[in-house]
Amino acid sequence: MAWTLVVPLKPLDRAKSRLADAVGAVPRSALALAFALDTVAAALACAAVDDVVVVTGDRRAAAELAALGARTVPEPPGGRGLNAALAHGAHTVRAHRPGAAVATLNADLPALRTPELGRVLDSAAEFPRAFLADAAGIGTTLLAAAPGIPLAPAFEGRSRARHRASGAREILLPDVDSVRRDVDTGADLRAALALGVGPWTAAVAGGRPEAGVPRAAGGAVTD
């Protein structure tokens, strides 16, 4: 099954507020953009991914992600939050391709490894709707819906429990840590750096002594 991934990205100047104390002089906007670039680049390299649609109201982010090969669509009017953005992205995809298999993917997965994403999507293809919990076991990093099945996103907060209660099947694969490791806090960033981040995040944050781990090697993370 070939998937279209919908990736939500809020305006960079409002992104990653919980990282402020951990990153010092490094602009949060630069980190948020680096996370998104590494995430989207790894996703576009995945054989199971047909295309990536980024939902964002940030012009700079839209331009840089489009240069990688992603499609971008503006956020829906009214600023109704993450779930509205995801539903809008899925609707946009299926307005052109009604039979598309659609999955959401968080934009803050800087250690994302292409083969691990492929394994998760292959597992998701076995169910009408499926999701992957985040590393903390509370939230969700990926929600997938087969062709003809509504996405019905229920993100933010304790979304793992909400997605499970909605009937989506939880994906319980081992060794897909990079797909589960989203970054909201300093501890999350250190964990992602320890896994090995992509080149954009490495350039912005990987060499900082405060991160507590060595700078990640350059080059796309693909295995």
Judge whether 140 is annotated as a binding position: yes
pLDDT of residue 79: 64
User: Is 221 part of a structural domain of the chain?
Assistant: no
- Residue 219 is assigned to a structural domain of this protein: no
Count of structural domains within the chain:
1
Q: Is the dihedral of CA 28, 193, 163, 8 positive or negative?
A: positive
pLDDT digits (tens, 9 = 90+) for 54-96: 999 999 999 999 999 999 999 988 767 899 999 999 999 999 9
pLDDT band at 99 (very low <50, low <70, confident <90, very high): very high
Check the CA dihedral 52-216-184-20 and report its sign.
Answer: negative
- The residue range of the domain holding 152 is 3-211
> Per the domain annotation, does 216 fall within a domain?
no
Burial class for 167, CB neighbours closer than 10 Å (0-12, 13-18, 19+)? exposed
- Looking at the domain assignment, is residue 161 inside a domain? yes
Would residue 87 count as lying in a domain?
Answer: yes
Give the N- to C-terminal CA distance of the chain in Å, as an integer: 21
Residue 223 lies inside a defined structural domain of this protein: no
Predicted confidence at residue 105, as pLDDT, reads 98
The domain that holds 99 is classified in CATH as: 3.90.550.10
The model's confidence at residue 14, banded by pLDDT at 50, 70 and 90, is confident
Residue 43 host element (H or E): helix 28-44
Strands 140-145, 101-105: pairing is antiparallel
The neighbour count for residue 207, using CB atoms within 10 Å, is 12
Q: Please indicate if the annotation marks 185 as binding a ligand.
A: no
Q: Does residue 195 fall inside a structural domain?
A: yes
Query: Is 111 a member of any domain?
Result: yes
Average pLDDT value for residue range 124-144: 98
